Structure 1
Amino acid sequence: MPSQNSRLNFQADELKFRQIIVLNDRAQINKFVTCTLKPGFNELVLKNLPSCLIHDSLRVEGKGNAKIHDFNFKNELVLDEESELEHMEKIAELKNVMKQNASKLNELEDRKGILKRRLKSMNLIVAQIGPGIMKTQEREQTIEVNEVTFSNIDKFFDAYNQKAVALTDERRAIDIDIAKTKLTIQEARIEKNGHINCKNSNRLEKNVYITLEADAETLIELDLIYYVHSASWTPSYDIRVDIKNSKMNLSYFGKISQHTGEDWVDAPLVLSTAKPSVKGKIPDLGLLDVRLFEKRRCVQNISHRTASGVFDPFWTDYRPCAAAPPQELGVGEDSRSLDVVVASEVTQSALSTEFKILREATIPNSTDEHKVTIGIVNLNPQLVHQTVPSKNSSAFLTASAINTSDLAFLAGQASIYLDNAFIAKTYLKDVSPGERFDCSLGVDTGIRIEYKPAKKYHQQAGFINKQSTNVTEQTIVIKNTRANAPILITMKHHIPRSVDEKIKVNLITPTATPFNAGEESNNEVVLPSEGAKLNSLNNLEWTVKVAQNSSQTLLIKYTIDHPKDEKIEFQEKF
C-alpha cells in the first residue's frame, strides 16, 4: 500500500453550503469541499470553524474512492506575529501621546498657579485701600479729597476690573485645556491597555483534522455537518382581506436571525420545527401514599403547586389556578377555491415539520431579522360580525377561514391589512391543514349598536314562603347603515347562572336553545344560523340578519327568584 502523505488546508468560512437547517434555537450547518487526494494517507485541515459550534454535534461524511480513518476536533492557540507587531507599534505610539500630554498638563498647571497668585495679590491691594485711608486719618494726617482723587480712584478700579476679567478668562481657558488634556491621556491609556490585552491574549481557533486514505490519486467530496448556537427562526404573517370580494391572502414568512460569526451566503435553507433541546424522557412516577389528614397551620408556598395548578397531596397550600378563557367557535365557509403560491417544500415527520425554501438565500451575520417566504395562500373567508354591547357598543368584524393548504401555520405574529390598509397586529395560533382559524379585523363602523339602559323592577309572591322576583329587561338596537348587503351578526349577552338551589333564573325572551355538551365537542363548525342559544358559560348568543339600511331591535328579558329576606350578588368569572 502506498505510504505517501499529504496535507490540505481549508478555511471553514470559504467552504460552500450544501444546506442549513434552522431550528427555533440553533442551526444545523452542512458544508462541503471537493479536493484531490494523493495515494496514501492524506490529512485535511478545516480551520477556523465558528466559535458557537456545538462540539458533540460534529460529524464528517464523504463521497469518493477513499476511506475516512478518523477526525479530531481541536481548540488551538493562534499566534499572529504580524498582528502582535502592530499592537506593539500602537502601544509605543500611545505611550508617546500620553508623555507629551503629561508635559502639556504640567505646563498648564504652572500657568494656572501663576494666574491664581496674580489675582490674589491684586485682591489684597484692593482690600488694603480703605483701611489705609482710615489709618491715615487716625494719625491726624490730612488728605485732600477732590475730583482728582475720585478720578484717580475710578481709573484704578477700571484698570483693576479689566485686568481681573482678563486674568479670570485666561484661567477659565486654561481649565478647559487641562480638562481636554486629561481626557486625551485617559483615552490613550484605555486604548493602550486594550492593545496590551490583545497582544497578550492568544486567540483560540476551532479546527478539524480529518485523516483519509486513498489507493490512487482520486477526487472526493467531503461533507462537514455540525450544529451552532445563536441562530433561530420564527413564523410571521401578512394577512390581507378584501371585504368586497370576500377574499383572504395569507403570506407566510419565516424570520431568521443569526449571529454565528459567519455570513450565510447563497445557502439552501430549511426551516424546521424540531426541538432537539427539549428532553424526550418520560417522567418518572413515584409512590403515592395516602394518610390521615393532620390539622396544621397552612404555610403559603406556591412553589409546591405544580404549574398546572394540580393538587400536591403532600402539601396543604392548594389554591386552584384560574381557568383559561374558553375559546369561542368560529363559523363555516365556502372552501371551494384554493390558490397556493409555493415557495417551499413541506416535509412532515412524526415529530416535526420542515419547510425547504426553494430559493437560495443570503443571511448575513447580524442581530437583524431576515424574512424568507414559505408560501402564499389564497382563501375564501366568511366575514362574521359579533358584538358584546354590555362591554363595548361596537360591532367587530372577524374573518373566519379554513386552512385548505398543505402548510401548517405555526403560532406567530401577524400583520392585518383590510382593503390594502394596515389596521393592526395580532397573534395567530397554531393552525393545522384543514383546521379553522379566526382573524379579527377590528370595528366595523358601518354597524351601529345602541345599548339602552336596562329596565329593572321588583315583585313579591307567595303566602307562606314569600319569594322576591327581580325582573330585568334589556333593549339592544342594531343598525346596518351599509347599502350593499345584509349582515349576519351575533350578539352576546350575560344571562346569570344560579349557583344556589334557592335562586331560580328564568329566561323569558328570547326562546333560546339550551347548551348541548355533545355538540360543543364536535369539531365540525358550521355557519351560524339565525336564532338564540346558550353557550357553555350560560351566556346568550343571539344571531340575527339585518338588512341593508335597516335596523333590528332585540329584547332580552329574564327573572331571578330568591327568598324575600335574602340578598343576591353578581360575580363575573373568566
Structure 2
Amino acid sequence: MLRFFLTTSLIALAAPGLADTITGQAKVDTVTIYPGLATVSRLVILDLPAGSHEIIVPDLPQSLSTEGLRLSAPAGVQIGAVNLAYDRLPVTPDQSSPAIVAAKEEVERLEEVLRERDAEIAAIRLRVQAAEEQIAFLQSLSQASAGQTLTTSSIADIQALAQMVGTETLAVREAAFAAEQEAQAALRAREDDVEALEDAKKALAALMAPESDGAVLTFTVNAVEAGEVVIDVSTLEGFANWSPVYDMHLTTGDDAALDIDRAVVVSQATGQDWLDVQLILSTARPGEQIAPSGVWAPLRRIISEEALKREEGEMLLMADEAMPMNRSLAGMAEAIMPAPAMTAQADFSGATVTYIYPGRVDIRNGVEDLRLPLDTLALEADVWAEAAPSRDSIAYRMAEFTNTTDEILLPGQALIFADGTMIGFSELPLLAAGADTEMGFGPLDGLRLTRATPRRSEGDAGVFTSNNQLVEQAEISVENLTGQDWRVLLRDAIPYSEQDDLEVEFSASPSVTRRNPEGQRGILEWDLDVAAGATQDVSLEYKLTWPEGYLLR
C-alpha cells in the first residue's frame, strides 16, 4: 500500500521558535457513519502554557488518509504546520506527561516489589539450609553417642538417647518442610510480580515509542493564554457501515395493529476500537457520484452501398480466419474468468436522514453486525386475506399501514411476526412520512382454495356449431377453517385482446368488484366476507370469439 508523508501548512506561526514538545492522546469522541465510510472525531485535551508548542499525537490507525484530515481549535489557539507520518515513527520526546510519569513510577514500584520478594525467598532458603545442617549434626551426634553408650551405659540410656535424637530431628524436619512450602509460595507469587513488571514495561514503552504499524500526527500550536485546550482531530475513514433492521409484529382481529421494533446493525474495521463514543448514523453518500454525467453527441456518417458491401465482405473474411483463435480464447476465458459478483444497491431516492443514537456506545475494531436498538413504532393496520386460486392452494395474510411518524422509514430487512408467531423475513421498502404500503405477513393454512375447470371447449369439439370460439368455465371456492372471520380479496385472470376482431366476453357470479385494477389488464378481483367455517363459491366463465379463417394464439 502506498504510504506518503504529508506536511500541510495551515497557519504560519509568528513565534520564531518552539517553546516545548508535548505528547497528547487522541480519544475517539463522535463517529458519524455513512454507507461504506465514517467521519471520526477525536479530542486531544492539552494543558498548554502560553506560547508556541509542538504537539505529538501517537497511536492513530495506520489506515488514516490525509485527504479527510481536519484540525480545529478554540478561539485564542492557532494551529500551524500539520504532519501525518506512517513510517519512521518518531520516539516520543516528552518525558513529563502524566501518563509517562505514572507508567515510570509503576515500573519502579514493581521492581522494588520484585527485589523485596527475592530477599524474602533468600531468607526462607537460609532457614531451610540451617534446618538441614541441624539435622546433619543430630545424625552425627547420635552415631558418636550411640557407640559410647553401648559400652558404658544401660539399655535405658540408649533408649533415652534415641528418643531425644528422634524428637529433635522430627521438629527440625517439620521446620524445614514448613520453610520449603513458604519458599514455594513466594516463588509462585514472584511469577506474578515478574508478569506485572513486564506488562508495566510494555505500557511505558508504548507511551515512549508508538507501535510501528500505526500513524503519528504532529502539529504546532500557538496559545495566547495558558490553560486547557481541546483540539478536535477529524478524519475520514473507510471500512464502516450501517443498515436498519426491523422486527414487525402484526396483530389481527378487530383491533388490528402493527408494532415495529427498529434497530441498526453497525460494522467497522478501521483499525481502532471506538469506546464510549457518540454515534451518528447518516444516509448521505459522500463516496458516490456528486454531479450529473456528461452528454456527448453521436457522430453519424454516410457510406455508399458499394463501399458498405466491400466492408462487410472484408469483415466476414477476417471473422472466418480468426474463428479458430476466437474459439480457443473463448474456452480459456471461460475456464479462468470467475462469475460476475452480485452487488446489492440501496436507493434512498435522494432523501438524507441523520439519526443520533441515544447514549454512548462501544464499537470495537473488526466487529460485524453489532445490533443497537432504536425504538418501537405503534401503527394502525388494515388486515385482510389475499387469494390467487389459479396459483396457490391457500390464502395469504396481508396488511396495509401508513407511516404516521414525522420521519422516513429507511429500507431494510424485516423479521415478520403475526399474532405472536414468527413468519419469516421480508424487506421494508423506503416509506416517506405519511406514505402507506402493503406487506405480506405469511400463509393462512386454514383458508383453502380450489379452482376447477369442468368444461373447456373449442368449437371443433362439437359443443359449439362454429370453430371460431373458445369457452372456459372455472369454479372457485374459498373454505375458511381458521376459526376467524376473514375479508378475502380474491384475484383471478381472463385473457385480454388488443385486436378488434378478437372479442372477449365474461360473466361471473357473484359479480366482480374490480376489473383491470391499477391498469392490470385481464385481472378480476372480488371482495368477499368469508365467515369462520363457511365456504364461498365463485363461478367464472369467459368466451373468446374471432372471425373464420383465423387461428387463436
- Distance in 1 of aligned mates of 2:350 and 2:82: 32
Q: Counterpart in 2 of 1:411?
A: 411
Deviation (angstroms), 1:276: 0.6
1:223 aligns with 2:232: yes
CA change 1:349–1:221 in 2 (3 A) is farther
Equivalent residues of 2:392, 2:449 under 8 A apart: no
Q: 2:510–2:538: 8 Å Cα contact kept in structure 1?
A: no
Output the amino acid matched with 2:270: T
Q: Deviations over 1:273-324 (max 9, x none)?
A: 010111112111222466779899899xxxxxxxxxxxxxxxxxxxxxxxxx
CA deviation profile, 1:380-438 (whole Å, cap 9, x unmatched): 11112111111112101012111111232222111111222211011121111111122
Equivalent residues of 1:16, 1:33 under 8 A apart: no
Distance 1:398 1:433 in 2: 21
Inter-partner Cα distance in structure 2 for 1:58 and 1:403: 39
CA positional deviation for 1:506: 1.5
Preserved contact between residue 79 and residue 203 of structure 1 (Cα < 8 Å): no
Distance in 2 of aligned mates of 1:390 and 1:360: 54
User: Does residue 59 of structure 1 match 2:43?
Assistant: no
Q: Distance in 1 between matches of 2:474 and 2:302?
A: 53
* Partner AA of 2:501 in structure 1: K
1:121-132 mapped onto 2 (5 Å cutoff): none
After TM superposition, the structure 1 = structure 2 runs for residues 88-127 of structure 1, keeping only pairs within 5 Å, are: none
Alignment-derived partner of residue 450 in structure 2: 450
- Measured after TM superposition, the shift of residue 50 of structure 1 is 1.3
Tell me the distance in 1 between the aligned counterparts of 2:384 and 2:252: 11
Kindly tell me: are residues 350 and 459 of structure 1, through their superposed partners in 2, closer, same or farther at Cα, counting changes over 3 Å? closer
Which residue is equivalent to 1:236? 245
Aligned partners of 1:6 and 1:38 also within 8 Å: no
Relative to its length, the structure with more helix (as a share) is 2
Asked whether the equivalents of residues 77 and 204 of structure 1 are also in contact (C-alpha less than 8 Å), the reply is no
Equivalent residue number for residue 5 of structure 1: 19
Aligned counterparts of 1:266 and 1:554: Cα–Cα separation in 2: 64
- What pairs with 1:357-396 in structure 2 (closer than 5 Å)? 357-396=357-396
CA shift for structure 1 position 212: 0.7
Is the CA contact 2:89–2:216 (under 8 Å) kept in the aligned structure 1?
Answer: no
Shift of 1:79: 8.7
2:525 matched residue in structure 1: 541
Which residue type is aligned with residue 432 of structure 1? A
On the 8 A contact 1:4/1:38 being kept in 2, the answer is no
**Residues 97-154 of structure 1: per-residue CA shift (max 9 Å, x gap):** xxxxxxxxxxxxxxxxxxxxxxxxxxxxxxxxxxxxxxxxxxxxxxxxxxxxxxxxxx
* Equivalent position of 1:355 in the other structure: 355
Looking at structure 2, the residues matched to 220 and 453 of structure 1 have their Cα atoms a distance apart, in angstroms, of 84
Alpha-carbon distance between aligned partners in 2 of 1:363 and 1:74, rounded to the nearest angstrom:
26
The answer for the alignment partner of 2:34 in structure 1 is 23
Residue correspondence of structure 1 range 100-179 to structure 2 within 5 A = none
Instruction: Tell me the CA shift for residue 4 of structure 1.
Output: 5.8
After superposition, residues 229-268 of structure 1 pair within 5 angstroms as: 229-244=238-253, 245-268=255-278
Q: Cα gap change, 1:511/1:532 in structure 2, threshold over 3 Å: closer, same or farther? A: farther
Code of the residue aligned with 1:550 in structure 2: it is A
1:554 maps to 538
In structure 1, how many angstroms separate the alpha carbons of the residues matched to 2:451 and 2:445? 16
Matched, 1:532 2:514: yes
Residues 32 and 280 of structure 2 are in contact (CA less than 8 Å); yes or no, is this contact kept in structure 1?
Answer: yes
Secondary structure in structure 2 of the residue aligned to 1:230 = strand
Matched, 1:50 2:64: no
Once residues 71 and 79 of structure 1 are traced to their aligned partners in structure 2, the CA distance between those partners, rounded to angstroms, is 15
CA-CA distance at 1:512 after TM superposition: 7.1
Deviations 1:153-211 (A, max 9, x none): xxxxxxxxxxxxxxxxxxxxxxxxxxxxxxxxxxxxxxxxxxxxxxxxx9343221121
Task: Classify the secondary structure of the residue corresponding to 1:56.
Answer: helix
Q: Could you tell me which residue of structure 2 aligns to residue 502 of structure 1? A: 501
Unpaired segments of 5 or more residues in structure 1? 81-201, 300-347, 514-530, 570-574
Q: CA deviation at 1:21?
A: 0.4
* Amino acid in the other structure paired with 1:492: R
TM-score by length of 1: 0.60
1:505 to partner: Cα distance: 1.3
- Provide the rounded CA distance (Å) in 1 between the counterparts of 2:212 and 2:454: 77
Aligned AA (1:557):
E
Unaligned runs of 5+ in 2: 1-13, 92-210, 317-347
For these two proteins, the number of residue pairs brought into alignment is 376
CA RMSD of aligned residues (A): 3.0
CA shift at 1:479, angstroms?
2.0
Question: Is residue 220 of structure 2 the alignment partner of residue 208 of structure 1?
Answer: no
Aligned to 1:159: none
| AA matched with 1:221 | V
CA contact (8 A) 2:28 2:40 kept: no
Contact 1:264 1:362 in 2 (8 A): yes
For residues 548 and 511 of structure 1, the distance between their equivalents in structure 2, rounded to whole angstroms, comes to 20
Match of 1:487 in 2: 486
How far is 1:47 from its partner? 1.4
Q: Distance in 2 between matches of 1:60 and 1:350?
A: 30
Change (3 A) 1:54 1:420: farther
Mapped partners of 1:442, 1:247: distance in 2:
16
* Amino acid in structure 1 at the alignment position of 2:534: S
Contact 1:258 1:363 in 2 (8 A): yes
